[in-house]
Amino acid sequence: MPFFYEVHRDAMRPHVERVWGAWIDEDARSEFRRKTDPKTHDVIEWDGTPIGLRWVRRHEDALELVRLFLMPAYQNRGIGSELMHALIAEAEDVHLPIRLRVLRGNPALRFYERLGFETTRTTGTHTEMQRRHR
């Protein structure tokens, strides 16, 4: 669990601070523990080193990407794209859309748009997106 939280903190802190103004580590750690079951996550590795997390829920009507976090040192290297292309291929095989949500101001929004995701709803804090199967 410490690695899971470290990845979450390092990947999300700047975006959380932009939306809510502060990162309170004790509160963030408690919330993360409450919402996280390690059994639901895939640990992403690079040359045998854990560098991130992915959590995909598989529903009858869609695949839901709940989390895709990479340590900042491993972002912008094509790793996220590779993972997403694999998920898109899975969704195409089962003829389902992929749904996700992105924290407002997170550059990942543009990443998902490039992969064919479209905004379905915006809230004060998040953008909800979907990629329909082709």
> What's the rounded Cα separation, in Å, for the pair 68 and 109?
12
Domain count for the chain, please give it: 1
Q: What is the CATH number of the domain that holds 52?
A: 3.40.630.30
Which domain range does residue 79 map to? Answer: 2-131
> What's the rounded Cα separation, in Å, for the pair 24 and 22?
6
The stretch 17-31 carries a mean pLDDT of 85
pTM of the model: 0.88
**Other residues' Cβ atoms within 10 Å of the Cβ of residue 59:** 9
Write down the pLDDT at residue 92: 97
| pLDDT, tens digit (0-9, with 9 covering 90-100), for 70-90 | 998 999 899 999 999 999 999
